[in-house]
Structure formats: C-alpha cells, structure tokens
Amino acid sequence: MTEASLNVDAITAGYRGRPVLRDVSLSVPEGKVVGIVGPNGHGKTTLLRCISGMLPLSSGQIVFRDRILKGLAIEKIAELGVIHIPQGDLIFPDMSVRDNLLMGAYMPAAYANVEQHLNAVHDLFPVLLERRDQIASTLSGGERRMLGIGRGLMCGGRLLMIDEPSLGLAPIVIEQIYAVLNELKREGRTILLVEENAARMLDLVDDIYLLDHGELVWNGTPAEFEERQEVLETYLGADL
C-alpha cells in the first residue's frame, strides 16, 4: 500500500455537543482518489469541514503528511496543502472570474507561480478564460462550479477535497466536470471526493467509503461496491 497522504483516525465531531460524526476513520493514499458516498445530511460535508479546520474535533486525530492538524487555524491547514472546495457556490460573487481565480493563488507559494496555475486552469476550463472579466455572480450554475473548482486548483495544493461537484447540475455539465476530475487523476493528484450518489464516481475513484448516520459503514473498491450495491442500498434505504 502506498503512503497515506491523509489519515483520519477515529474522529467524533458535531454541532452544539450533538455529534454528527462518530468514530470515523479513513485514509487517503498519496496519488489516489477516494470517494465518500452516503445520503444527504449524514455527515459528509461535516467530515470535510473537520479536516479543513472549520469544525473542531471532539475526539480523534487527523494527520496530513505527518502533521497533526488539530488546533491549526483554517488558513494554516490550507497552507499545508489541504484544499477544501466547498459545497455549493462559495465563489466571491462581486468579483470578476479572473479575480476569483487570482484569490485561489493567494498563498505565497501559489502566487509565485500564478501565471502557470492560471494557464493550467484555463486549459481545463476554457470557459473561465472566455469569461475572465465577467462578474462571478452572473455565471451559470455550471460555470460557477467550474470556477469554484478552478479556484481551488489555483492553490496548488497537495490534497483536493471536493464536496458534491455534481450537485444540482445538468448531466452534460456533470460530464464536463468529471472529465476534468479524470484529468486531475491522470496527473496523479490526491483527491478526496464527496458525492451523494456513487454511480458517477465508480469509474474515477480507487476506494469508496459509505457514510451513514455519521458512521462509516462500509469500505471497498468500486468493483466490490458494484457487486454489493443492492445489499448496501437496501441496508441504507437509499439509492446510491
């Protein structure tokens, strides 16, 4: 097994003392794509928020490349290379597309290579080059998602955590976005991907975790998942 980039070890966390995640452990190996699936509201986003430092842990430990993340500020965790691309459209609405992308390269290491990052993002999402002077709030839903992902790529991080990249988008746009994710995988990026539905990510991921009511209930390869899909769906009472 390759060396782990991220190790989440038995974390428990929640809001106002009510745990949303219970005893969750997972590991993302270097250069691999790991998917987390599960019904909405079962802690997938909370897990990413814990890793990026937005939510404190009640117990457990998160280690990224031999660094313990507990107690670090959000921006410090980002500086280590953990890039959280949040759910929905958390782009900067009143800034141009270009300024949004430049904000992605805010950190000094990324800013030193800003042109290079910008070209790479424009190659992946040509539409962001076409619309570079447009105000972000005037973009379509799909374009916003591309901007959000592109902005995250500008950071030049070592681990990309992408929360529901296909949520609420038309099938054709989802295809475009997954084509980019495949491209990133070919480049050897380490990715932690969260989706409600597993079908889309089966061809992409190396490893799947199932999250149900804040607990990881199953873990395996996409092939194993397909074999047992019906059993898992019955167990969870949801389409995966």
- Asked if 215 interacts with another protein (CB under 8 A), we say no
Cβ closest to another protein, residue 106 vs residue 220: 106
Q: What are phi and psi of 62, to 5 degrees?
A: -125, 130
**Beta 215-220 vs 82-85: how paired, if at all?**
unpaired
Q: Three-class SS of residue 26?
A: strand
Cβ closest to another protein, residue 3 vs residue 133: 133
Question: CB 141 → another protein: shortest distance, Å?
Answer: 17
Question: CB 102 → another protein: shortest distance, Å?
Answer: 6
CA 223, CA 142: separation in Å to the nearest integer?
A: 30
- Asked if 91 interacts with another protein (CB under 8 A), we say yes
CA 161, CA 152: separation in Å to the nearest integer?
A: 9
Give burial (CB, 10 Å; 0-12/13-18/19+) of 226. middle
CB 110 within 8 A of CB 153: no
CB 48 within 8 A of CB 163: yes
Cβ closest to another protein, residue 46 vs residue 52: 52
Cβ closest to another protein, residue 43 vs residue 81: 81
Residue 91: which residues within 8 A CB-CB, separation 6 or more?
100, 136, 139, 144, 147, 148, 151
Cβ closest to another protein, residue 27 vs residue 87: 87
- Asked if 52 interacts with another protein (CB under 8 A), we say yes
Q: Of residues 31, 54, 67, 219, which one binds another protein by CB under 8 A?
A: 54
Encoded one letter per residue, x for contact with another protein by CB under 8 A and - for no contact, window 105-144 reads: -xx---x---------------------------------
The stretch near another protein (CB under 8 A) out of 58-66, 78-86, 118-126, 218-226 is 78-86
Q: Of residues 61, 63, 103, 113, which one binds another protein by CB under 8 A?
A: 103
Q: What are phi and psi of 154, to 5 degrees?
A: -60, -25
Q: Which amino acid, residue 151? A: R
Encoded one letter per residue, x for contact with another protein by CB under 8 A and - for no contact, window 153-192 reads: --x-------------------------------------
CB 122 within 8 A of CB 128: yes
Q: From the CB of residue 3, how many other CB atoms can be counted at a distance below 10 Å?
A: 9
The contact set with another protein (CB under 8 A) reads 52, 54, 73-75, 78-79, 83-84, 86, 90-95, 99, 102-104, 106-107, 111, 151, 155
